[in-house]
Amino acid sequence: MTETLNPFKIAQAQFDEAADILQLDAAMREFLRVPMRELHFSIPVKMDDGSVQVFQGFRVQYNDARGPSKGGIRFHQDETIDTVRALSAWMTWKTAVADIPLGGAKGGIICDPRNLSEGELERLSRGYMRNIARQIGITQDIPAPDVNTNPKIMAWMIDEYETLMGWHEPGVITGKPLALGGSEGRTAATALGGIFTLREAAKELNVDLTKSTAAIQGFGNVGSFAHKLIIEVLGVKVVAISDQYGGIYNADGIDYDVLRAHVDKTGKVVNMEGTTPISNKNLLELDVDILVPGAIENQLTAVNADNIKASIIVELANGPTTPEADEIFNEKGIYIIPDFLCNAGGVVVSYFEMVQNGYQYYWDEALVNQRLDSKMTTAFHAVHNMAQEKGVSNRVAAYLVAVDRVVEAVSLRGWV
């Protein structure tokens, strides 16, 4: 049988495994393996050349038993309703494993933002918000950035929302610029949260991180901060890093500031002085201690899993590993910090942003990071202990912790 790369099928298979162990009854299973609500819409956008292009947009509210649904918006040429469904399911388990009072959602637009001008991107972002405005809100659903979206796009979206509604409501979007009510520490939060889980894992595994090497896939918001922070906070040597155009390698380590300056100038990681080129494929298979997939889904599959040499995988991306690859990694004894635990830092600080917006009083970065550390450390050990107790992988353990919490909320509400 060929491996399925449909992320929603993968998310359902992962859920089913946890549902079996938790012995969920048929109705609860049926309810939790599909989204509660979906919006599908078309966004007509006036292009710079005077033509109109129609884009497809989605917002999926997977489950809101534990609180308003929460999750980012992706702009990607390969977006499909099933990727958005999967990502909204993972958001549900993510907010539950991090134990914040929110549900799960995700949004997306099928588009390649590299082909859009600044003006086209703004009109597309505002058009997206006009389509979802009446279905979101601080008590319903709170969007945020994700792949190819950023604080600037969140600023256009919050402005469109507030203009439509006629009042200020900063908490309805997180990941905003600081000047519009964003939180200190939000842009670095996904990476920093993952770094905290890696620190905890290293303690459990007795690994000296200052003697470890890492390869990082991705140099977007997540990958670039992972590069900076894995060096700064943990003293790991980063020997390879890539973006969608290709990767670079240097056995002596790649300096973050030098790469940042290079990317700011050229827009790509390739051709940084003192490094040799490496393909994304070869980067994943490097002989390093730590592999950080920090880009998109389905990067570690049945095709390359056998060739992976890292002993710890830090899943900062959503859905980077397929179930087939997972099985191979488990057999090989590779330690995985699973995605919706590892990358929960972003939504944790999004939650802090909502809290600060709610009482219009803002915390400094040190306080944000300290509270993030506490949430991530608690979540990591809940999963680690569950894995030990039940003799299951960290991924299954993360599902057991998260699904159990959502099931409790659904039951208490009397839905199932």
> Residues in the site for ligand GLU, rule: CB under 6 A?
70-72, 94, 144, 146, 174-175, 318, 343, 346-347, 350
The Cα 172–Cα 248 span in angstroms is: 39
**For ligand GLU, which is the closer residue by CB, 29 or 70?**
70
**Closer CB to ligand GLU, 311 or 377, in the complex:** 377
Q: What are phi and psi of 181, to 5 degrees?
A: 100, 15
Of the residues 94, 106, 228, 375, which is catalytic? 106
Q: Which residues, in sequence order, are bridge partners of residue 250?
A: none
Is residue 203 annotated as part of the catalytic site, yes or no?
Answer: no
Closest-approach residue to ligand GLU (CB): 72
Cβ at position 172, least distance to ligand GLU in Å: 12
The CB-of-321 to ligand GLU minimum distance in angstroms stands at: 16
Q: Give whichever of 181 and 247 is closer to ligand GLU, judged by the CB atom.
A: 181
* Radius of gyration (C-alpha) of the chain in whole angstroms: 20
Nearer to ligand GLU, 183 or 250 (CB): 183
Integer Cα distance of 48 and 183 in angstroms? 34
Asked if 148 and 76 touch (Cβ cutoff 8 Å), the reply is yes
Output 191 or 236, the one with its CB closest to ligand GLU.
191
Name the minimum Å distance from CB 144 to ligand GLU: 3
CB of 233 to ligand GLU, least distance (A): 20
- Whole-number Cα distances in Å, 165 to 130, 135, 168, 180: 11, 12, 8, 17
Name the H helices within 49-182: 81-97, 118-132, 151-165
- Minimum distance between the CB of residue 416 and ligand GLU, rounded to whole angstroms? 25
Closest CA to 300 of 97, 100, 3, 37: 3
How does 183-196 read in b/e, with b if 16+ C-beta sit within 10 Å? bbbbbbbbbbbbbb
Q: Which residues are catalytic?
A: 106
